[in-house]
Amino acid sequence: MNIGLLGMGTVGGGVYNAIVERDLGLSVKRILDCRALPGLEKLQTAAFQTILDDPSIDLVVETMGGDEPAFGFVLAALNAHKHVVTSNKLLVSAHYRELHEAAAQNGVQFRYTAAAGGGIPWLYNLARAKRCDDILSIQGVINGTTNFILDGMYTQNGDFDEMLSEAQRLGYAERDPSADIDALDTQRKCALSASLAFDAYVPAASIPTAGIRHITKEDIAYCKNLGRVCRLMFYASRADEGVCAQVEPVFVPGDSAAATIRGCGNMITLTGKHLGELTMIGQGAGREPTGVAVVQDILDIAQGLIQAPFSTAEAAVCATAPYRYYVRKDGAQYVSEPISAAQIHKEGADFFARIAE
């Protein structure tokens, strides 16, 4: 199978290395990138049209990130009857319907396992579990950057700005960290996971979401006193009227598996009617784990393996059950009576976190 690779950055480089390392029956025919790629000049092109017009290219890998020009390229590739694999959650969540429909209309596949969970084969196993089970709920820690910050604040007693700078220094956080710390990245991954789990299109923007931008040492100290650890988590479940979903900081019990997730780790759980809970823990990001996840998608297409079903019918996102929340507001810290996520968003707070059952 011949591949056109869009973007030779961190993930693209991991994909390239994993493909050339062993005989997988895959060949990188062209690489679209404007930067110098020493030793790869023969493969390199600066014109996407070269890839689009090459009938020998069966599959396009998009690892550029961002919306445009990635969206235009991916849509054109699908319309040219080429399979597409991407690691770009922003792209997939922003254009979920159009991309899935274009793939279906053109009889090709569109896969993005690496877009949620990095190296963890989460979306693939979710699709596999769905073959013979009903998914009741999904939840987890799916953003490595914020987990690095929260873990650092807990274990090293650091403050938020310190830990964010450290994450940026190590390459775990972008210069503009908004998508991570405001939980938009988690929101997108939640939307992709819930859409697959519950056979309905869950728009990212419809998920009530709170991040960790305003968390302080005082919040962590209060959390510790409760015998808990703070994690940024997503949660989604099937409901009579649609899908319940939310993204927010959660104080999890100190003896839970989520409390043990160190650094940039991810932990994602599905609950099946028959299977019960199945949890996967692994590297949610990084050149090599994400690169391997992309290559696994390519091999699944080449070998005709399980494709995640999708639905473009939009789900109503409905209110979750009331929970108790830790709240810091106007200098006061307290644990609320059970209230809904909608209510806590409406009332506002300097920082809040759900108290896990």
d(CA 330, CA 337): 18
Among 119, 144, 152, 211, binds its own copies (CB under 8 A): 119
Query: Least CB distance from residue 24 to its own copies, whole Å?
Result: 6
- Residue linked to tokens 């060949």: 27
Applying CB under 8 A, the span of 18-26, 236-244, 317-325, 328-336 interacting with its own copies comes to 18-26
304 binds its own copies (CB under 8 A): yes
Residues 35-74 that bind its own copies (CB under 8 A): none
Query: Least CB distance from residue 347 to its own copies, whole Å?
Result: 33
Applying CB under 8 A, the span of 171-179, 187-195, 206-214, 257-265 interacting with its own copies comes to 257-265
Among 92, 167, 295, 341, binds its own copies (CB under 8 A): 295
What does the per-residue mask of binding to its own copies show for 265-294, with x meaning CB under 8 A?
-------x-xxxxxxxxxx--x-xx-xx--
Structure tokens at 102: 């274009």
Among 256, 311, 333, 340, binds its own copies (CB under 8 A): 256
Query: Least CB distance from residue 352 to its own copies, whole Å?
Result: 25
Q: Which residues are catalytic?
A: 189
Query: Least CB distance from residue 303 to its own copies, whole Å?
Result: 7
144 binds its own copies (CB under 8 A): no
299 binds its own copies (CB under 8 A): yes
d(CA 291, CA 208): 31
Collapse the DSSP code of 142 into the 3-class scheme (helix H, G, I; strand E, B; otherwise coil) and give the result. coil
Amino acid at 244: C
d(CA 190, CA 235): 7
5 in Cβ contact with 63 (< 8 Å): yes
22 binds its own copies (CB under 8 A): yes
d(CA 142, CA 152): 17
Bridge partners (DSSP) listed for residue 30 = 4
250 in Cβ contact with 230 (< 8 Å): yes
Alpha carbon 235 to its chain centroid, in Å, reads 13
84 in Cβ contact with 98 (< 8 Å): no
257 binds its own copies (CB under 8 A): yes
Number of residues that bind its own copies (CB under 8 A): 43
Query: Least CB distance from residue 193 to its own copies, whole Å?
Result: 17
Bridge partners (DSSP) listed for residue 238 = 243
DSSP-derived secondary structure letter, 259: G
Structure tokens at 64: 């550029």
Find the length of the chain. 357
Question: What residues make contact with its own copies under the rule CB under 8 A?
Answer: 14, 18, 22, 24, 119-121, 124-125, 128-129, 131-133, 255-257, 259-261, 272, 274-283, 286, 288-289, 291-292, 295-296, 299, 303-306
